[in-house]
Amino acid sequence: MLVRSRLLRCWGGGTGRIVEDAKDKITKLLEEYESGGVVAEACQCIRDIGMPFFNHEVVKKALVMAMEKKNDSMLDLLQECFREGLITINQLTKGFTRIKEGLDDLALDIPNAREKFSFYVEHAQQKGWLLPTFGSSAADGSH
């Protein structure tokens, strides 16, 4: 908990600021990982943020970054986070659902966003991160 209190002290007061800072830290750790970082270090950074209820943001940002930069190594990071129990299937599902809900907007900037997302969903289902029913309205909360 020492690390968490140190992070919270660094972040300062209000909870809105904490969320924004967490998003910034997530972006930075993913960029570092993407530029040749080590999976174990990235996992430790996620742990150090100390907000497991917010790990859907890691999933969302990792998938978008993978789409933008055509770098599927982000899937390796998500695999390890899942394997270690660092990111739960619920957080993974929430992150994938957020991407699914924003696909129209993503497709404006990333022409093959739908194809990439379908590939990621299939990959995640094969690895057991997402339930086979993901994509049906009852399973992921979409309508």
Question: Residue 110: which domain range?
Answer: 2-133
Domain of 46: which CATH number?
1.25.40.180
**pLDDT, tens digit (0-9, with 9 covering 90-100), for 78-129:** 999 999 999 999 999 999 999 999 999 999 999 899 999 999 999 999 999 9
User: Does a structural domain hold residue 141?
Assistant: no
User: Does a structural domain hold residue 115?
Assistant: yes
**pLDDT, tens digit (0-9, with 9 covering 90-100), for 28-56:** 999 999 988 899 999 999 999 999 999 99
Task: pLDDT band for 134, please (50, 70, 90 cuts).
Answer: very high
User: Does a structural domain hold residue 70?
Assistant: yes
* Residue 53 CB coordination number (10 Å): 10
User: Does a structural domain hold residue 91?
Assistant: yes
User: Does a structural domain hold residue 142?
Assistant: no
**Per-residue confidence (pLDDT) for residue 72, from 0 to 100:** 82
Task: Name the H helices within 35-112.
Answer: 39-49, 55-69, 73-83, 89-101, 103-109
How many structural domains does the chain have? 1
User: Does a structural domain hold residue 17?
Assistant: yes
User: Does a structural domain hold residue 143?
Assistant: no
